[in-house]
Amino acid sequence: MMDLILLIIRDIFLVTGSIAVLIGAFGVLRLPELFCRIHAAGITDTAGAGLVITGLMIESGFTLVSLKLLVIFVFLFFTSPTSSHALAKSAIHGNVLPVTDLPKR
Amino acid sequence: MKFLILPFSFLAVFWLILSGHYTTLLLVLGAVSCIWVLRISHRMKIVDLEDYPIHLVPWRIIYYWFWLIKEIMLSTWTVSKIILTPKSRISPKVVWLPADEMSDMQKVIYANSITLTPGTLTIEADNSRLEIHTLRGDMLEPLERGDMADRVRKLEY
Protein backbone atom coordinates (compact mmCIF):
# COMPACT_ATOMS: atom_id res chain seq x y z
CA MET A 1 0.00 0.00 0.00
CA MET A 2 2.77 2.38 1.01
CA ASP A 3 4.63 1.45 -2.17
CA LEU A 4 1.64 2.28 -4.30
CA ILE A 5 1.25 5.72 -2.70
CA LEU A 6 4.97 6.41 -3.25
CA LEU A 7 4.66 5.30 -6.87
CA ILE A 8 1.73 7.64 -7.42
CA ILE A 9 3.52 10.59 -5.78
CA ARG A 10 6.62 9.87 -7.87
CA ASP A 11 4.54 9.76 -11.04
CA ILE A 12 2.81 13.03 -10.17
CA PHE A 13 6.20 14.72 -9.72
CA LEU A 14 7.63 13.24 -12.95
CA VAL A 15 4.58 14.10 -15.04
CA THR A 16 4.18 17.67 -13.74
CA GLY A 17 7.93 18.16 -14.20
CA SER A 18 7.76 16.99 -17.80
CA ILE A 19 4.76 19.24 -18.42
CA ALA A 20 6.73 22.18 -16.98
CA VAL A 21 9.64 21.41 -19.33
CA LEU A 22 7.21 21.28 -22.27
CA ILE A 23 5.59 24.59 -21.28
CA GLY A 24 9.04 26.16 -21.03
CA ALA A 25 10.01 24.89 -24.48
CA PHE A 26 6.69 26.08 -25.92
CA GLY A 27 7.18 29.49 -24.31
CA VAL A 28 10.65 29.86 -25.81
CA LEU A 29 9.05 29.45 -29.24
CA ARG A 30 5.93 31.50 -28.57
CA LEU A 31 7.00 34.61 -26.68
CA PRO A 32 8.23 37.58 -28.71
CA GLU A 33 11.74 38.84 -28.04
CA LEU A 34 14.85 37.48 -26.37
CA PHE A 35 14.30 38.71 -22.81
CA CYS A 36 10.78 37.27 -22.62
CA ARG A 37 12.12 33.98 -23.91
CA ILE A 38 14.67 33.85 -21.09
CA HIS A 39 11.71 33.87 -18.67
CA ALA A 40 10.21 30.86 -20.43
CA ALA A 41 13.55 29.04 -20.36
CA GLY A 42 13.61 29.74 -16.63
CA ILE A 43 10.56 27.51 -16.15
CA THR A 44 12.46 24.59 -17.68
CA ASP A 45 15.49 25.29 -15.50
CA THR A 46 13.76 25.66 -12.14
CA ALA A 47 10.32 24.08 -11.97
CA GLY A 48 10.90 21.46 -14.66
CA ALA A 49 14.28 20.23 -13.47
CA GLY A 50 13.29 20.58 -9.82
CA LEU A 51 10.13 18.49 -10.12
CA VAL A 52 11.76 15.78 -12.24
CA ILE A 53 14.71 15.48 -9.84
CA THR A 54 12.34 15.32 -6.83
CA GLY A 55 10.45 12.53 -8.59
CA LEU A 56 13.67 10.63 -9.25
CA MET A 57 14.72 11.09 -5.61
CA ILE A 58 11.46 9.48 -4.45
CA GLU A 59 12.12 6.68 -6.93
CA SER A 60 15.56 5.87 -5.52
CA GLY A 61 14.67 6.28 -1.83
CA PHE A 62 17.32 6.79 0.87
CA THR A 63 20.37 5.83 -1.19
CA LEU A 64 23.56 7.41 -2.45
CA VAL A 65 21.83 8.07 -5.77
CA SER A 66 19.33 10.35 -4.01
CA LEU A 67 22.20 12.29 -2.44
CA LYS A 68 23.82 12.74 -5.85
CA LEU A 69 20.48 13.94 -7.25
CA LEU A 70 20.24 16.42 -4.36
CA VAL A 71 23.71 17.73 -5.25
CA ILE A 72 22.61 18.15 -8.88
CA PHE A 73 19.47 19.96 -7.66
CA VAL A 74 21.48 22.42 -5.55
CA PHE A 75 24.01 23.04 -8.34
CA LEU A 76 21.21 23.70 -10.83
CA PHE A 77 19.74 26.31 -8.51
CA PHE A 78 23.06 28.14 -8.45
CA THR A 79 24.03 27.77 -12.10
CA SER A 80 20.74 28.43 -13.89
CA PRO A 81 20.39 32.09 -12.77
CA THR A 82 24.07 32.58 -13.59
CA SER A 83 23.53 31.44 -17.17
CA SER A 84 20.43 33.67 -17.44
CA HIS A 85 22.48 36.67 -16.24
CA ALA A 86 25.23 35.86 -18.73
CA LEU A 87 22.75 35.61 -21.58
CA ALA A 88 20.96 38.87 -20.69
CA LYS A 89 24.24 40.68 -20.13
CA SER A 90 25.77 39.57 -23.42
CA ALA A 91 22.56 40.52 -25.25
CA ILE A 92 22.78 44.05 -23.83
CA HIS A 93 26.47 44.24 -24.70
CA GLY A 94 25.53 43.24 -28.24
CA ASN A 95 22.97 46.08 -28.31
CA VAL A 96 19.94 43.80 -28.10
CA LEU A 97 17.93 45.88 -25.64
CA PRO A 98 14.71 44.76 -23.92
CA VAL A 99 11.62 45.88 -25.81
CA THR A 100 9.16 47.47 -23.41
CA ASP A 101 6.42 48.65 -25.77
CA LEU A 102 5.35 45.61 -27.71
CA PRO A 103 2.73 46.10 -30.41
CA LYS A 104 -0.69 44.83 -29.38
CA ARG A 105 -1.47 41.64 -31.20
CA MET B 1 42.19 27.37 10.87
CA LYS B 2 38.48 27.31 10.02
CA PHE B 3 39.47 27.87 6.39
CA LEU B 4 41.36 24.56 6.49
CA ILE B 5 38.85 22.35 8.27
CA LEU B 6 35.76 23.64 6.50
CA PRO B 7 36.96 23.31 2.89
CA PHE B 8 38.51 19.94 3.71
CA SER B 9 35.31 18.51 5.15
CA PHE B 10 33.33 19.96 2.25
CA LEU B 11 35.64 18.37 -0.32
CA ALA B 12 35.73 15.09 1.59
CA VAL B 13 31.92 14.87 1.79
CA PHE B 14 31.70 15.71 -1.90
CA TRP B 15 34.18 12.95 -2.76
CA LEU B 16 32.32 10.45 -0.58
CA ILE B 17 28.96 11.28 -2.17
CA LEU B 18 30.21 11.09 -5.74
CA SER B 19 32.50 8.09 -5.34
CA GLY B 20 30.33 5.44 -3.68
CA HIS B 21 33.33 3.05 -3.47
CA TYR B 22 34.68 2.82 0.05
CA THR B 23 37.85 0.75 -0.36
CA THR B 24 41.10 1.77 1.31
CA LEU B 25 42.80 2.66 -1.96
CA LEU B 26 40.04 5.00 -3.12
CA LEU B 27 39.64 6.64 0.30
CA VAL B 28 43.39 7.35 0.42
CA LEU B 29 43.30 8.72 -3.12
CA GLY B 30 40.35 10.91 -2.12
CA ALA B 31 42.14 12.26 0.96
CA VAL B 32 45.25 12.99 -1.10
CA SER B 33 43.31 14.88 -3.77
CA CYS B 34 41.37 16.87 -1.14
CA ILE B 35 44.63 17.98 0.47
CA TRP B 36 46.11 18.76 -2.93
CA VAL B 37 43.11 20.91 -3.95
CA LEU B 38 43.28 22.72 -0.59
CA ARG B 39 46.98 23.42 -1.06
CA ILE B 40 46.46 24.80 -4.56
CA SER B 41 43.50 26.98 -3.57
CA HIS B 42 45.43 28.39 -0.60
CA ARG B 43 48.35 29.23 -2.86
CA MET B 44 45.90 31.01 -5.17
CA LYS B 45 44.46 32.83 -2.09
CA ILE B 46 40.87 32.19 -3.16
CA VAL B 47 39.59 30.65 0.07
CA ASP B 48 37.55 33.26 1.94
CA LEU B 49 34.07 33.99 3.26
CA GLU B 50 32.72 34.20 -0.27
CA ASP B 51 33.46 30.53 -0.93
CA TYR B 52 32.42 29.35 2.51
CA PRO B 53 29.58 31.64 3.61
CA ILE B 54 29.65 30.67 7.28
CA HIS B 55 28.42 34.14 8.21
CA LEU B 56 24.97 33.21 6.90
CA VAL B 57 22.54 31.94 9.50
CA PRO B 58 22.06 28.25 8.58
CA TRP B 59 18.47 27.70 9.71
CA ARG B 60 17.36 30.97 8.13
CA ILE B 61 18.94 30.14 4.78
CA ILE B 62 17.30 26.71 4.78
CA TYR B 63 13.94 28.27 5.65
CA TYR B 64 14.61 30.87 2.94
CA TRP B 65 15.21 28.12 0.37
CA PHE B 66 11.89 26.48 1.12
CA TRP B 67 10.14 29.85 0.96
CA LEU B 68 11.89 30.52 -2.37
CA ILE B 69 10.77 27.16 -3.78
CA LYS B 70 7.18 28.09 -2.84
CA GLU B 71 7.57 31.46 -4.59
CA ILE B 72 9.05 29.76 -7.66
CA MET B 73 6.09 27.40 -7.85
CA LEU B 74 3.60 30.28 -7.56
CA SER B 75 5.19 32.36 -10.30
CA THR B 76 5.75 29.29 -12.49
CA TRP B 77 1.98 28.91 -12.38
CA THR B 78 1.46 32.54 -13.44
CA VAL B 79 4.01 32.41 -16.27
CA SER B 80 2.67 29.06 -17.50
CA LYS B 81 -0.78 30.60 -17.72
CA ILE B 82 0.65 33.52 -19.72
CA ILE B 83 2.40 31.13 -22.11
CA LEU B 84 -0.55 28.79 -22.57
CA THR B 85 -3.28 31.43 -22.96
CA PRO B 86 -3.64 32.32 -26.62
CA LYS B 87 -3.36 36.04 -27.31
CA SER B 88 -2.38 36.71 -23.69
CA ARG B 89 -1.27 40.27 -23.07
CA ILE B 90 2.34 40.55 -22.07
CA SER B 91 3.81 43.96 -21.41
CA PRO B 92 7.50 43.64 -20.55
CA LYS B 93 8.83 46.28 -18.20
CA VAL B 94 12.27 47.25 -16.95
CA VAL B 95 12.53 48.84 -13.51
CA TRP B 96 15.19 49.56 -10.91
CA LEU B 97 14.59 47.99 -7.50
CA PRO B 98 16.42 49.15 -4.36
CA ALA B 99 18.93 46.69 -2.89
CA ASP B 100 20.45 48.89 -0.18
CA GLU B 101 21.74 47.77 3.23
CA MET B 102 22.97 44.51 1.73
CA SER B 103 26.42 42.96 1.63
CA ASP B 104 27.78 41.70 -1.69
CA MET B 105 26.81 38.14 -0.78
CA GLN B 106 23.26 39.20 0.03
CA LYS B 107 23.01 41.14 -3.22
CA VAL B 108 24.04 38.03 -5.14
CA ILE B 109 21.46 35.93 -3.26
CA TYR B 110 18.79 38.56 -3.91
CA ALA B 111 19.60 38.93 -7.63
CA ASN B 112 19.78 35.16 -8.13
CA SER B 113 16.48 34.62 -6.29
CA ILE B 114 14.83 37.20 -8.53
CA THR B 115 16.17 35.45 -11.62
CA LEU B 116 15.15 32.03 -10.30
CA THR B 117 11.51 33.05 -10.00
CA PRO B 118 10.13 32.84 -13.54
CA GLY B 119 8.76 36.13 -14.82
CA THR B 120 11.42 38.33 -13.28
CA LEU B 121 15.04 38.61 -14.41
CA THR B 122 17.97 40.64 -13.08
CA ILE B 123 19.88 42.22 -15.94
CA GLU B 124 22.05 44.86 -14.28
CA ALA B 125 23.27 45.83 -10.82
CA ASP B 126 25.02 48.76 -9.23
CA ASN B 127 25.91 49.57 -5.63
CA SER B 128 22.42 49.90 -4.23
CA ARG B 129 20.02 48.92 -6.98
CA LEU B 130 19.13 46.05 -9.29
CA GLU B 131 17.65 46.42 -12.76
CA ILE B 132 14.79 43.97 -13.23
CA HIS B 133 13.15 42.87 -16.45
CA THR B 134 9.65 41.49 -15.97
CA LEU B 135 7.20 39.76 -18.23
CA ARG B 136 4.17 41.65 -16.95
CA GLY B 137 3.95 44.64 -14.64
CA ASP B 138 1.90 42.92 -11.94
CA MET B 139 4.55 40.21 -11.43
CA LEU B 140 6.67 42.90 -9.79
CA GLU B 141 4.20 43.53 -6.96
CA PRO B 142 5.62 40.94 -4.52
CA LEU B 143 9.13 42.31 -5.13
CA GLU B 144 8.08 45.93 -4.75
CA ARG B 145 6.51 45.09 -1.41
CA GLY B 146 10.07 44.19 -0.38
CA ASP B 147 9.19 40.85 1.17
CA MET B 148 12.08 39.01 -0.44
CA ALA B 149 14.54 41.85 0.23
CA ASP B 150 13.67 41.83 3.93
CA ARG B 151 14.18 38.08 4.14
CA VAL B 152 17.56 38.34 2.38
CA ARG B 153 18.65 41.16 4.73
CA LYS B 154 18.02 38.91 7.73
CA LEU B 155 20.22 36.09 6.37
CA GLU B 156 23.50 37.34 7.87
CA TYR B 157 24.46 37.56 11.54
The DSSP annotation for B97-111 comes to EE--S--HHHHHHHH
Does A8 reach chain B within 8 Å, measured CB to CB?
no
ipTM tops the 0.95 cut = no
B31 and B71 housed in the same domain = no
pLDDT of residue A102: 65
Q: State the nearest Cα–Cα gap between A1 and chain B, in angstroms.
A: 29
CA distances from B146 to B60, B116, B157 (A): 17, 16, 20
Does B88 reach chain A within 8 Å, measured CB to CB?
no
Distance of alpha carbon B70 from alpha carbon B74, whole angstroms: 6
Of all residues in chain B, the one with the smallest CA distance to A79 is B112
B99 and B147 housed in the same domain = yes
pLDDT band at A105 (very low <50, low <70, confident <90, very high): very low
Of all residues in chain A, the one with the smallest CA distance to B82 is A27
Global pTM value:
0.85
Percent of chain B exceeding pLDDT 90 equals 13
Q: B62-76: per-residue pLDDT in tens?
A: 899 999 999 999 889
B68 and B139 housed in the same domain = yes
Domain count, chain B: 2
B93 and B140 housed in the same domain = yes
For residue B23, give its domain range.
2-43
B38 and B62 housed in the same domain = no
Q: B96-147: per-residue pLDDT in tens?
A: 888 888 888 888 889 999 999 888 888 888 888 888 888 887 888 888 888 8
* Residues of chain A contacting residue B117, judged by C-beta atoms under 8 Å apart: 42, 46
Question: Does the pLDDT at position A56 exceed 90?
Answer: yes
Query: In a mutagenesis test of the A interface, which of B112, B123, B130, B152 is the best target, namely the one with the most A β-carbons within 10 Å?
Result: B123
B8 and B67 housed in the same domain = no
Mean confidence (pLDDT) of chain B: 85
B100 and B24 housed in the same domain = no
Does B119 reach chain A within 8 Å, measured CB to CB?
yes
Distance of alpha carbon A21 from alpha carbon A49, whole angstroms: 8
